[in-house]
Amino acid sequence: MGCWRSPQGGRLFYPLDNNDGMHLHRVRIGLAMRSMKPHNWQAIKPPNEGEATTFTLTINGQQEEGFAIRTHGALHAYINRCPHAGTPLDWLPGRFFSADGTVLICQTHGAIFAPDSGACLAGPCPHGLVALPVDEKEQHLSVPADLTMQT
Ligand code: FES
């Protein structure tokens, strides 16, 4: 998995090798830097272009929902929790994209997010979505099943 920075500069995401062989992932959201360390991974169905696959995972011992999307051929995953009021984003189960497929929309108050970075583009969101690491090898997609996150 490569490292990259969103065009808006709002999110930085890259894996680091930890000394125990695990990967430590760091995500920048607004001005906050979070570290996340996956402990276990799970295989999920790779979403088709413009679609999403939801999954559950444990973050710091709490069950959360995540979703993986494919946009412009690339896979991205986020915690399914809007940074405005904390509700799930999907307006129908597993439906996150706008009708034209260009942005992600929160069903509660209409915040709009960039699919390829999770950045908040419009609406009441104070920052972008929390990204999760994805690992795709030979058309098999894995996402964390259990991770710890620190700010
Ligand atoms: S909870 Fe998502 S915009 Fe308010």
Domain limits at 90? 39-146
Q: What is the pLDDT of residue 22?
A: 46
Per the domain annotation, does 9 fall within a domain? no
Signed CA dihedral, 87, 107, 58, 2: sign only: negative
- For the stretch 38-67, pLDDT in tens is 999 999 999 999 999 999 999 999 999 999
Q: With a 6 A CB cut-off, is 123 part of the ligand 1 pocket?
A: yes
Q: Which of 82, 90, 113 to mutate to test the pocket of ligand 1 (most atoms within 8 A of CB)?
A: 82
Per the domain annotation, does 26 fall within a domain? no
Q: What is the pLDDT of residue 53?
A: 97
Q: What is the pLDDT of residue 150?
A: 83
Q: What is the pLDDT of residue 88?
A: 97
Based on the structure, what is the number of domains in the chain?
Answer: 1
Calpha distance 113→125 (Å, rounded): 9
Q: What is the pLDDT of residue 19?
A: 42
Per the domain annotation, does 16 fall within a domain? no
Q: With a 6 A CB cut-off, is 84 part of the ligand 1 pocket?
A: yes
How many whole angstroms from 104 Cα to the centroid of ligand 1?
Answer: 12
We report the CATH number of the domain holding residue 48 as: 2.102.10.10
Q: With a 6 A CB cut-off, is 104 part of the ligand 1 pocket?
A: no
pTM of this prediction? 0.81
Calpha distance 8→129 (Å, rounded): 13
Per the domain annotation, does 117 fall within a domain? yes
Q: Could you tell me how far CA 110 lies from the centroid of its own chain?
A: 18
Q: What is the pLDDT of residue 29?
A: 52
How many whole angstroms from 86 Cα to the centroid of ligand 1?
Answer: 7
DSSP letters of 44-56?
EPPPPBT-EEEEE
pLDDT per residue as tens, the chain (151 positions): 333 333 333 333 444 444 444 455 555 555 456 788 999 999 999 999 999 999 999 999 999 999 999 999 999 999 999 999 999 999 899 999 999 999 999 999 999 999 999 999 999 999 999 999 999 988 899 999 999 988 7
Half-sphere exposure of 4 (CA within 13 A, CB side): 12
Per the domain annotation, does 126 fall within a domain? yes
How many whole angstroms from 61 Cα to the centroid of ligand 1?
Answer: 24
Per the domain annotation, does 17 fall within a domain? no
How many whole angstroms from 124 Cα to the centroid of ligand 1?
Answer: 7
CA distance between the termini of the chain: 22
Q: With a 6 A CB cut-off, is 140 part of the ligand 1 pocket?
A: no
